[in-house]
Amino acid sequence: MRIAFIGLGNMGAPMARNLIKAGHQLNLFDLNKSVLAELAELGGQISSSPRDAAQHSELVITMLPAAAHVRGVYLSEDGVLAGVKAGTPVVDCSTIDPQTARDVAAAAAKQGVDLADAPVSGGTGGAAAGTLTFMVGASADLFATLQPVLAQMGRNIVHCGEVGTGQIAKICNNLLLGISMIGVSEAMALGNALGIDTKVLAGIINSSTGRCWSSDTYNPWPGIIETAPASRGYTGGFGAELMLKDLGLATEAARQAHQPVILGAVAQQLYQAMSLRGEGGKDFSAIVEGYRKPE
Ligand code: NAD
């Protein structure tokens, strides 16, 4: 199938590589020329704009940083909607607010184009391994069309409901993740300060009622989980800046729904302070450093 892939960053590039490996022809667009050159070597075609990429494709996929980029890439003069043919399925995998997803889908629908939101979880490791979870907001027909292609980049392809519901699932999950990482950080730092071996403490938590992914898979304390960013200087994971963005999406959606997210708001402020200290580029589990004396 000929697929337009727009937004080839930390997530998009490995996702596109998996589609090339699966035998698809890709029309590629990104502002970063070096990633385009790298993927062209694997057989992808470089396009001159989102419009150009979409015009000649049977499916369009986008993976962009935030809502402003999504609006720009879809709605501008040289955007996807200026090029895409009626009836072409379109899916945006960026993490953005549900309302922008619905607005862009409404603009697409006016010209006979069905658009899904399908944010992912699983990080850059999952993107490379093709094991992402896709949370898909789409009509039943569009979900059925997209499912086989998304399955070439992911392991769990979940239909959450109509357009926008994928983003709702994603921001609720990341709200909880941002909070749970802070909870685990507090517990680990308190245990350390009171004098228990942190490995023993983590072992107890991970077989007791405090167990959660932030503790048993991604523990923020260095040396507990070998594969976690904490054990490699908080590099190469999910940046605190992206967590801050997702908590902003959650608190804003909550404001619109008149719904309290008290711990989410506190978590947002803690990651905001981390960003102010110039540490937004570190993995979000480095939030634990706020609870430790510098070495
Ligand atoms: P990234 O910043 O690495 O990549 C974004 C890419 O989009 C860049 O290559 C950039 O050049 C390109 N881009 C920006 N504006 C553009 C435009 N107008 N036209 C074309 N290309 C443009 O970000 P990422 O880590 O790949 O994340 C993408 C999305 O996935 C974000 O919404 C993020 O929240 C979400 N996400 C990231 C992770 C992760 O672990 N990194 C995990 C799950 C979800």
CA of 96 to the centre of ligand 1 (A): 11
Ligand 1, residue 124: give the atom nearest the CA: 40
> pLDDT by residue (tens digit) across 101-124?
999 999 999 999 999 999 999 888
How does residue 147 score in pLDDT terms, banded at 50, 70 and 90?
A: very high
Answer whether 7 contacts ligand 1 (Cβ < 6 A).
yes
> pLDDT by residue (tens digit) across 27-37?
999 999 999 99
Ligand 1, residue 32: give the atom nearest the CA: 11
In the chain, CATH 3.40.50.720 sits at 2-162
Evaluate if residue 293 carries a pLDDT over 90: no
May I ask the CATH class of domain 2-162?
Answer: alpha beta
Residue to mutate (ligand 1; options 70, 135, 242; most atoms within 8 A of CB): 242
11: Cα separation from own chain's centroid: 8
Ligand 1, residue 72: give the atom nearest the CA: 18
Task: Kindly report which listed range (34-43, 121-130, 242-251) carries the lowest average pLDDT score.
Answer: 121-130
CATH number of 168-291: 1.10.1040.10
CA of 94 to the centre of ligand 1 (A): 7
CA of 206 to the centre of ligand 1 (A): 33
In the chain, CATH 1.10.1040.10 sits at 168-291
| pTM for the model | 0.93
